[in-house]
Amino acid sequence: MARLEREIEELKAENERLRRALEEALRAAKRQAAPFSRRHPQAHPQKPGRKAGQEYGRAHRREIPDRVDEVVEVPLPSRCPECGGGVEETGVVSQYQTEIPSPRVERIEFRIHQGRCRRCRQALQGRDPRQSSAAVGGAASQLGPRAVASRHAGIE
């Protein structure tokens, strides 16, 4: 009789241990998103997100072409598109676009005239229909639409 009671107690203890293990497994299945997805998180994890300032990646921008085949003056609009006011020119910046016309490579410099509306002080710049973007500065040298298309088609 004592042996059976001892065996019952052992089975009850094992049953309780298995119930706790099952509950733990069910709870773990419900919380898979971070920070609960790891049972033992790293002691010193890296900070998430982009690194600030100079620590972020390699500084790179497309090179300005050493040779320009055509220079296009892109004048300011005569009137502000926002308010219709007169426009005064404040400077000229360059944007370079490498394009692949049939059958030769064409490098175009767009000399984009920049200005400001005299009435509302809105900053403005000219735009040529052949420009693929209005970007200047770090993104001033770009590929034109045909060059991008040939690149995606595997033609280089």
pTM of the model: 0.43
pLDDT of residue 30: 75
**pLDDT score at 77:** 93
Note the helical H segments in the chain.
Answer: 2-30, 145-152
The partner residues of 94 in beta bridges, in order of sequence, read 111
List per-residue pLDDT tens for the chain, 156 residues long: 899 999 999 999 999 999 999 998 888 777 666 655 666 777 888 888 777 777 677 767 888 999 999 999 999 999 999 999 999 999 999 999 998 866 678 899 999 999 999 999 999 999 999 888 888 888 888 888 888 887 777 665
Q: Which residues contact 68 (CB under 8 A, 6 or more apart)?
A: 96, 107, 108, 109
Q: What is the pLDDT of residue 73?
A: 95
Write down the pLDDT at residue 35. Answer: 58
Q: What whole-number distance in Å separates Cα of residue 1 and Cα of residue 95?
A: 96
